[in-house]
Structures are given as C-alpha cells and as structure tokens.
Amino acid sequence: MSKIEDFLRQLLQHLGFVEEKIGLKTTETEDLISVVIEVPDSESGALIGHQGETLNSLQRLVRIIFREQIDKKIQLDVNQYRQEKEAALKEMIDRIAAEVKSTKKSVEIKKTLSSYERFLIHQYIADGEDFADLESVSHGEGLNRRLVIKLK
C-alpha cells in the first residue's frame, strides 16, 4: 500500500469513516498518481462537498504533504465524481457547440465554472475534431469569470 493510501485511510478513519467501508484504488502513470476513494454513496458528499470544493481541498492537502516525496501530479476522486462531472461537462459542450454552429452566434456559459472545469472545456474544444471551427475563451475575473464558445 502506498504512503498516500496509508495517509488517506488514516485521515478517513479520523473523520469517522468505517475502515471496512473504505476502498482505495490507485493507478500510476509516468507523471500521475490517481487515487479513487470509494465510500458508501450516502457518505460521499462529505468528501466531495459543494461542487467538489471539499474534494479539491483534500487533493490540495495531499499534494502539499507529499510534494517533496513524490514528483508526480496527484489526483483524487471520490466514487468516480470527477469522471461523471467531466462526462456531464462534455455533454453540455456538445449541446452548446451544436447551438453555436447552427445559429452562428457565440454562447456564454452562465454557470460558474472552476478553473479546472474551464481547463477541461478549453482542452475538449481544442482537441475535438468536431470543434475545428470553434474556440473557447474566458473573460472576467474571480466568480464573474465566464467561458464563451464561439466560431473561429
């Protein structure tokens, strides 16, 4: 078991999670260590938080603690939350892209997105073959930062 898994298991127990109900799945690539924490669905909200804020904070904490020991990026997930969130973002962007193409008008995403969500969208648009005639741009600051999908 890795140092990160040991740390997370102990932390979760201190937070009141039952050891037998905690699952940890770690995958490692050349530049990334990904740990999926599995807990009962009824308890996952405590680790995910509002719009993933608690999960992001937990991930930041783990990165800080292990930054001098591990030279890879560390990503945490809880019950596939990030994977499901990314799939939902891609569905939303597919709908918006179709709207932009059909109306020839830019669409601003009114929803407040995290910097990571904006990054995923920018990357999805830039890398997508179906989006060769589109681009995404961000404007504004802080909580007023918005993403726009438009024709090139």
Give residue 105's pLDDT.
97
C-alpha–C-alpha distance, residues 83 and 43, integer Å: 18
Give residue 116's pLDDT.
82
Clarify whether residues 74 and 92 are in a common domain.
no
C-alpha–C-alpha distance, residues 42 and 112, integer Å: 26
Clarify whether residues 56 and 112 are in a common domain.
no
Give residue 143's pLDDT.
81
Clarify whether residues 56 and 106 are in a common domain.
no
Following CA atoms 142, 124, 103, 109 in sequence, which dihedral angle do they give, to the nearest 10 degrees?
-20
Clarify whether residues 24 and 44 are in a common domain.
yes
Clarify whether residues 67 and 93 are in a common domain.
no
Number of domains forming the structure of the chain: 2
Give residue 48's pLDDT.
96
13: domain CATH number is: 3.30.300.20
Q: Which of 63, 79, 95 is the last residue of a domain?
A: 79
Give residue 59's pLDDT.
95
The encoded tokens of residue 47 equal 């680790």
| Phi, psi dihedrals of residue 52, rounded to the nearest 5° | 80, 10
User: By residue range, what is the domain housing residue 55?
Assistant: 3-79
CB 62 within 8 A of CB 47: no
Q: Which of 16, 47, 79 is the last residue of a domain?
A: 79
91: domain CATH number is: 3.30.1370.50
Clarify whether residues 71 and 8 are in a common domain.
yes
pLDDT tens for the 152 residues of the chain, in order = 589 999 999 999 999 999 899 999 999 999 999 999 999 999 999 999 988 899 999 999 999 999 999 889 999 999 999 999 999 999 999 999 999 999 999 999 988 888 888 999 999 999 999 999 999 999 998 888 999 999 99
CB 72 within 8 A of CB 32: yes
C-alpha–C-alpha distance, residues 30 and 112, integer Å: 33
Give residue 111's pLDDT.
85
Q: Which of 31, 51, 79 is the last residue of a domain?
A: 79
95: Cα separation from own chain's centroid: 20
pTM summary value: 0.77
Clarify whether residues 87 and 72 are in a common domain.
no
Helix/strand/coil (H, E, C) string of 49-100?
CHHHHHHHHHHHHHHHHHCCCCCCEEEEEECCHHHHHHHHHHHHHHHHHHHH
Pairing of strands 23-28, 146-151: unpaired
